[in-house]
């Protein structure tokens, strides 16, 4: 039996959680799901340009786990862009960090009603 998954710290839930190619009906598209921890890893590594060790500490995970998460996220995003698929951002159990600013002013904070 696998070890239980630790809850990752994320800054917020994105306001926009679905992206698709223009002009193609949603019903005709394959959908790729980007988990909230993968979204947060992309935000920290690519948008905030943090080193993996620093980003892992912010998410309360090991650097190796962060590396696996960011690799999976990059592969999913590349698949969406290269193959014209839809991208849905949704989450599993995560810890919303109410005390820290996301640094970019986007996304719903944990104190808002979702």
* Coil/strand/helix, residue 63: helix
| Residue 58 maps to a domain | yes
Domains in the chain, number: 1
Task: Say which CATH number the domain at 37 has.
Answer: 1.10.10
What pLDDT does 110 receive? 38
| Residue 84 maps to a domain | yes
| Residue 7 maps to a domain | no
Spatial distance between the Cα atoms of 68 and 80, rounded to a whole number of angstroms: 19
Q: Is the pLDDT of residue 114 over 60?
A: no
- The per-residue pLDDT for range 66-94, each reduced to its tens digit, is 999 999 999 999 999 999 999 999 877 65
CA atoms within 13 A on the CB side of 106: 10
Expressed as residue numbers, the domain containing 54 is 26-92
| Residue 105 maps to a domain | no
Q: Is the pLDDT of residue 106 over 70?
A: no
Q: Is the pLDDT of residue 54 over 70?
A: yes
H helices present in 17-91, as ranges: 36-42, 52-59, 63-83
- Token duo for residue 95: 């810890």
| Residue 98 maps to a domain | no
| Residue 59 maps to a domain | yes
pLDDT band at 4 (very low <50, low <70, confident <90, very high): low
| Mean confidence (pLDDT) of the chain | 82
| Residue 18 maps to a domain | no
| Residue 80 maps to a domain | yes
- Token duo for residue 57: 């500490």
Spatial distance between the Cα atoms of 27 and 30, rounded to a whole number of angstroms: 8
């Amino acid at each position: 039996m696998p070890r239980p998954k630790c809850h990752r710290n994320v800054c917020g839930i994105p306001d926009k959680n679905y992206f698709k190619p223009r002009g193609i009906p949603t019903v005709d598209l394959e959908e790729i799901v980007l988990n909230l921890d993968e979204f947060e890893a992309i935000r920290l590594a690519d948008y905030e340009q943090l080193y993996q060790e620093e980003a892992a500490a912010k998410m309360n995970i090991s650097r190796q786990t962060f590396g696996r998460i960011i690799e999976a996220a990059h592969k999913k995003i590349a698949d969406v862009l290269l193959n014209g698929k839809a991208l849905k951002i949704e989450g599993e159990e995560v810890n919303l960090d109410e005390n820290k600013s996301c640094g970019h002013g986007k996304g719903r904070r944990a104190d808002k009603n979702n």
